[in-house]
Amino acid sequence: EPEVTQTPSHQVTQMGQEVILRCVPISNHLYFYWYRQILGQKVEFLVSFYNNEISEKSEIFDDQFSVERPDGSNFTLKIRSTKLEDSAMYFCASSEEGGQALYGYTFGSGTRLTVV
Amino acid sequence: GNSVTQMEGPVTLSEEAFLTINCTYTATGYPSLFWYVQYPGEGLQLLLKATKADDKGSNKGFEATYRKETTSFHLEKGSVQVSDSAVYFCALMGTSGSRLTFGEGTQLTVNP
Strands (E), chain B: 3-6, 11-14, 19-21, 23-26, 32-38, 44-50, 56-59, 62-65, 75-77, 86-93, 100-102, 106-111
For residue range A28-65, what is the model confidence (pLDDT) as tens digits? 888 999 999 998 888 999 999 998 999 999 999 999 99
Give the closest residue to A50 by CA, choosing from A62, A35, A67.
Answer: A67
Sign of CA dihedral A28, A8, B46, A55: negative
Chain A CB contacts of B36 under 8 Å are 107
For residue range B9-64, what is the model confidence (pLDDT) as tens digits? 899 999 999 999 999 999 988 899 999 999 987 888 999 999 999 999 999 999 99
CA separation (Å) from B32 to A67, A78, B57? 27, 30, 11
Q: Is the pLDDT of residue A95 over 90?
A: no
Computed over every residue of chain A, the mean pLDDT equals 91
Contact indicator for B23, B6 with CB cutoff of 8 Å: yes
Q: Within a 13 Å sphere around the CA of A101, how many CA atoms are in the beta-carbon half?
A: 16
Contact indicator for A82, B23 with CB cutoff of 8 Å: no
CB contact under 8 A, A48 and B42: no
Sign of CA dihedral A114, B1, B6, B7: positive
Q: Where are the alpha helices (DSSP H) in chain A?
A: none
Chain B CB contacts of A56 under 8 Å are 97-99
Most confident of A75-79, B1-5, B100-104: A75-79
Q: What is the pLDDT of residue B35?
A: 96
CA separation (Å) from A68 to A24, A25, B97? 12, 13, 20
Q: Within a 13 Å sphere around the CA of A88, how many CA atoms are in the beta-carbon half?
A: 22
CB contact under 8 A, B93 and A56: no
Q: What percent of chain B has pLDDT over 70?
A: 100
